[in-house]
Amino acid sequence: MDGFPAHKVEGVVLLIYLVGGADVNKQWLKSLDHKNAIWVGVDRGTQTLLDAGIRVDRAFGDFDSVSAVELEFIRSVVQSVETANAEKNETDLELALNWAIEQQSDIKILGATGGRLDHFMGNLQLLSSEKALNYTRLIEIEDEQNRIRMLKAGKWKVENCEDFQYLSFIPMTNEVEGLSLTGVKYTLTNYNAVFGSTRTISNEIIEPIASISFSTGILMMVRSKDKS
């Protein structure tokens, strides 16, 4: 079901934000802050958070995109800084995501859609990994206009959200079999969606809850809105 219950520690619901290095609206970041949020900076994203006046609980990266002065400041104010070698097999975000998954909390990834397209495509691939797909809580990429997550075969429920009008599904495998959509403007029944097709772009939820089901494959679900 969409919106898994978050991890609780002593009755407190925790949400981990991973913030990457792409340009992010600092006012928007501040609007997301609350007492139960855990903020994790990823490389340049660490400085972005500090510039926004948000505390950083942990930082990951090779920090090749910050200056020596900025890195010194990061080390002075962030309690846990995990520095990686610049020449490594994983991206900085993958290192941070691996840690976040171990915490068993809901995870939202910010600052992951702007900037370099290769980084953005790599970030989408991270959500398609076996580890991420089998995670029993929420993992979502979010920016001011979009919320992106991956769905594996099964049955899903998605609540209507007026702030994000559009609902799209993009096959991430060669074929997604038996796709059925109800509670939406354009319903489908037992449809086979193929990689490269745009048939399932720009739908809208018209009921309080939409239902999605499919028997094989992986779908990327995007909830989006036009730029205001």
Give DSSP secondary structure letters for 170-221.
Answer: EE-SSEEEEEEEESBSS-EEEEEEETT--TTSSEEB-SSEEEEEEEEEEEEE
C-alpha span between 25 and 103 (Å, rounded): 27
Q: Is the pLDDT of residue 5 over 80?
A: no
CB 95 within 8 A of CB 82: yes
Domain 1-144 part of CATH 1.10.760.10? no
Q: Is the pLDDT of residue 8 over 50?
A: no
For the chain, where do the domains classified as CATH 3.40.50.10240 start and end?
1-144, 145-228
SS3 69: helix
Tell me the whole-structure pTM to 2 decimals: 0.89
Residue 87 to residues 64, 105, 115, 205, Cα–Cα distance (Å)? 11, 29, 20, 45
Q: Which CATH architecture has domain 145-228?
A: 3-Layer(aba) Sandwich (3.40)
- What does the DSSP 8-state code read for residue 30? H
Mean predicted confidence (pLDDT) in 174-192: 98
Determine if residue 111 is left, alpha or beta; phi over 0 gives left, psi from -120 to 50 gives alpha, anything else beta. Answer: left
Tokens 């859609």 belong to residue: 113
CB 139 within 8 A of CB 132: yes
> Which of 50-54, 112-116, 184-188, 213-217 has the weakest average pLDDT?
112-116
